[in-house]
Amino acid sequence: MLKNSNRIKLSEHFSLHEFANKDGLAIVHPRLVEALEKLRKRLAEVFEEECYIVITNATRTEFDNEILGRRLGWTDEGGLVSRNSKHLTKYGGIAVDFYVRRVSDSGYVSQGRAGSLARKFFDKVVDTYADGHIHADLRDLTE
């Protein structure tokens, strides 16, 4: 369990605990944090106000991925979870799932608009999930 992780700042706007799984394990590549900060800055420029990037999933163990795959289905069987997810610890913290929320009214930025802006900073962006979240990763770091 990661103790006091909420106090460990990775950047101006992100803390280590935001990337942790339910057991407190967090692995975050520095370039992922840089990309998120760049996206946050771009969102503020486009919307002329601060926007929060609300992280919903980042670090996953094989066990975490197995549970999620059983619940949501595997992509190779028509589901939503990859057996070789870039969220897995073996990739070194290069993936994140998130929503974008405006500060002024707490409303969410549309998935398509946020995903479109994220493509400038991430190698892969998926913005077609029914629940509205966005997946982004830096998969080129693994090649």
| pLDDT mean by block of 10 residues, the chain; 143 residues | 67 95 96 98 96 97 97 95 97 97 90 98 96 96 80
Residue 113, classed as helix, strand or coil, is helix
Q: How many domains does the structure of the chain reveal?
A: 1
pLDDT for the residue 7? 78
The whole-model pTM stands at: 0.92
Burial class of residue 115 (count of CB atoms within 10 Å of its CB; 0-12, 13-18, 19+): buried
Give the HSE-up count for residue 142: Cα atoms under 13 Å, Cβ half-sphere. Answer: 18
- CATH number for the domain spanning 46: value is 3.30.1380.10
pLDDT for the residue 3? 53
Phi first, then psi, for residue 121 (nearest 5°) are: -115, -10
3-state secondary structure 2-39: CCCHHHCECCCCCEHHHHCCCCCCCCCCHHHHHHHHHH
The two structure tokens encoding residue 105: 């009214």
pLDDT for the residue 28? 97
Residue 115, classed as helix, strand or coil, is helix
pLDDT for the residue 105? 86
pLDDT for the residue 1? 47
Full domain range(s) for residue 39: 5-142
